[in-house]
């Protein structure tokens, strides 16, 4: 009720500890050099503007979206079931937040005009979707395991398989865009984007884990990917299940 | 067939545990397929109170070249300086929410139409001049850049605590210039690097 006149949260979000956020200027990722600032960032005290964000009503029941069904039939490739939760640093669920995902198809090609990789498009796979987390911060979707693909960053450069995630969270301060990787991918040690994160534990957080419990017999492998947003210094007044 | 997460009703199972936050990664060159569904370049509607404004500009790299694959997100208060706090049933449908998302075009330009936000003074220790929060995403940026847009025709700017925290000779990068030839039109560019580099914030 009348939440416009009520502080949304009595909270200030914690700083990221060193080694989690990649440097803006990271020469191994060639595109960063001319597209990143050189001046130091100016500290910004969190005000109401940074502590608010668009919020959404969590769905009553978890209803997984399915990217594998196209207009003419099933998408090609290995079906996988991805599920997880959006949490904060203290393990509190982040309900009612918008998550957007996008990825390449099984052959490593995006449905994007600028992607000219010589690999086939799949008429039954767009590779994108969105959902709102439920009251427990949960989400689940079914998709095709994306393929690796070459890029021009350096000689013989290949991106490891990944799914892009965009998450709003409860405040402008918690907005996050990241990538989910797959366990055991041999390309990870060579990838400058993954390795732009200095802290090994923070890199590993971006790797989904195989989940036997969500693996469906005779159907597809389950992967677990939890997304952890910045925590707040005080207990939010909302955000209770 | 649906995935069934473990502990479906457990919402507070790890309250005591501190989790490491998930790191940022770049949006890459193909964000359009994922973010296009919620592109929002016009937040005005027939029942939205306030002055209609349009902000136009470019995103410019170290060589002075416009960036054709950037996406800007905007977050701002309504004309009374209030933030939309009611959760929406369907993302970005219906009444004014205050969230915009605009990609740059092939020439590196963007255009955002909205209503001018009011000064923010509720639940904030110091009155803030009308402003828009901006997140900048693009290939080459490993995490977002955060900046603000103020308006050159607002007398409140002189007392704004955030503008006041920025070196005087860099403040202009945060101020959209009113177009004298067209009421409600402002120009504001993002300089990623170089002599005119925009002020970006550590939030």
In this predicted model, what pLDDT tens digit does every residue of A10-61 receive, in sequence order?
A: 578 999 999 999 999 999 999 999 999 999 999 999 999 999 999 999 999 9
Q: How far is CA A165 from the centre of its chain?
A: 2
On whether the CB atoms of residues B124 and A48 are closer than 8 A, the answer is yes
CA distance B10 to B14: 9
On whether the CB atoms of residues A53 and A94 are closer than 8 A, the answer is no
Cβ separation A55–B88 shorter than 8 A? yes
pLDDT score, position A57: 96
Cβ separation A230–B73 shorter than 8 A? no
On whether the CB atoms of residues B23 and A206 are closer than 8 A, the answer is yes
pLDDT score, position A240: 37
Decide if pLDDT at A238 tops 70: no
Global pTM reads 0.92
Residues of chain B found within 8 Å of residue A219, distances taken between Cβ atoms: 1
Interface list for A 177-216 with B (CB within 8 A): 177-179, 193-194, 196-197, 199, 201-203, 205-206, 211, 213-214, 216
Of B22, B26, B201, which is closest to A227 when you measure between CB atoms? B22
Q: Distance between the two ends of chain A, CA-based, in angstroms? A: 17
CA distance B90 to B105: 27
Q: What is the pLDDT along chain B (203 residues), one digit of tens a residue?
A: 555 554 444 444 444 457 899 999 999 999 999 999 999 999 999 889 999 999 999 999 999 999 999 999 999 999 999 998 789 998 988 888 999 999 999 999 999 999 999 999 876 778 999 999 999 999 999 999 999 999 999 999 999 999 999 999 999 999 999 999 999 999 999 999 999 999 999 99
Alpha carbon dihedral A162, A168, A174, A176, in 10-degree steps, equals 20
CA distance B127 to B122: 8
On whether the CB atoms of residues A67 and A122 are closer than 8 A, the answer is no
Q: How far is CA B191 from the centre of its chain?
A: 15
Q: What is the 3-state secondary structure (H, E, C) of B53-69?
A: EEEEEEEECCCCCECCC
pLDDT score, position B14: 41
Residue that is written with structure tokens 């957080």 in the block: A205
Q: pLDDT, tens digit, for every residue of A50-100?
A: 999 999 999 999 989 999 999 999 999 999 999 999 999 999 999 999 999
Structure tokens at B53: 């404004």
pLDDT score, position A217: 98
Task: Give A81→chain B minimum CA distance, Å.
Answer: 6
Task: Give B179→chain A minimum CA distance, Å.
Answer: 26
Residues of chain B found within 8 Å of residue A222, distances taken between Cβ atoms: 3
């Amino acid at each position: 009720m009348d939440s416009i006149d009520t502080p949304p949260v009595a909270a200030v979000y914690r700083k990221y500890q060193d080694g989690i956020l990649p440097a803006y200027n990271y020469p191994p990722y060639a595109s960063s050099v001319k597209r990143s600032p050189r001046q130091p960032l100016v500290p910004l005290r969190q005000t109401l503007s940074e502590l608010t964000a668009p919020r959404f009503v969590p769905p009553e029941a978890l209803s997984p979206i399915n990217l594998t069904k196209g207009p003419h039939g099933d998408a090609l490739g290995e079906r996988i079931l991805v599920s997880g939760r959006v949490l904060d640093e203290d393990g509190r669920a982040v309900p009612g937040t918008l998550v957007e995902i996008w990825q390449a198809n099984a052959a490593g090609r995006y449905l994007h005009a600028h992607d000219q990789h010589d690999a086939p498009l799949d008429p039954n796979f767009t590779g994108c979707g969105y959902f709102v987390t439920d009251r427990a911060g949960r989400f689940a979707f079914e998709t095709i395991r994306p393929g690796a693909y070459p890029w021009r960053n350096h000689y013989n450069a290949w991106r490891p398989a990944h799914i892009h995630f965009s998450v709003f969270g409860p405040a402008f301060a918690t907005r996050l865009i990241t990538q989910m990787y797959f366990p055991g991918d041999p390309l990870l040690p060579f990838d400058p984007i993954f390795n732009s994160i200095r802290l090994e534990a923070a890199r590993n957080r971006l790797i989904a884990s195989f989940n036997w419990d969500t693996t469906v017999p005779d159907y597809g492998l389950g992967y677990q990917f939890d997304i952890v947003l910045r925590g707040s210094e005080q207990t939010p007044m909302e955000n209770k299940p | 067939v649906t995935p069934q997460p473990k502990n479906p009703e457990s919402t507070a199972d790890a309250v005591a545990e501190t989790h490491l936050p998930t790191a940022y990664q770049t949006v890459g060159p193909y964000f359009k397929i994922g973010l296009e569904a919620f592109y929002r370049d016009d937040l005005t509607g027939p029942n939205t109170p306030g002055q209609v404004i349009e902000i136009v500009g470019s995103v410019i790299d170290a060589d002075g070249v416009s960036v054709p694959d950037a996406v800007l997100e905007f977050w701002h208060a309504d004309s009374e300086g209030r933030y939309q706090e009611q959760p929406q049933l369907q993302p970005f449908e219906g009444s004014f929410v205050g969230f915009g998302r605009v990609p740059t075009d092939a020439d590196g330009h963007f255009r955002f139409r909205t209503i001018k936000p009011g000064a923010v003074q509720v639940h904030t220790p110091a009155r803030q001049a009308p402003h828009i929060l901006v997140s900048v995403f693009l290939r080459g940026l490993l995490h977002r850049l955060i900046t603000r847009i103020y308006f050159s025709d607002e007398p409140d700017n002189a007392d704004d605590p955030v503008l006041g925290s920025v070196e005087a000779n860099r403040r202009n990068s945060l101020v959209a210039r009113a177009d004298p030839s067209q009421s409600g039109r402002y120009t504001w560019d993002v300089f990623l690097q170089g002599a005119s580099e925009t002020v970006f914030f550590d939030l």
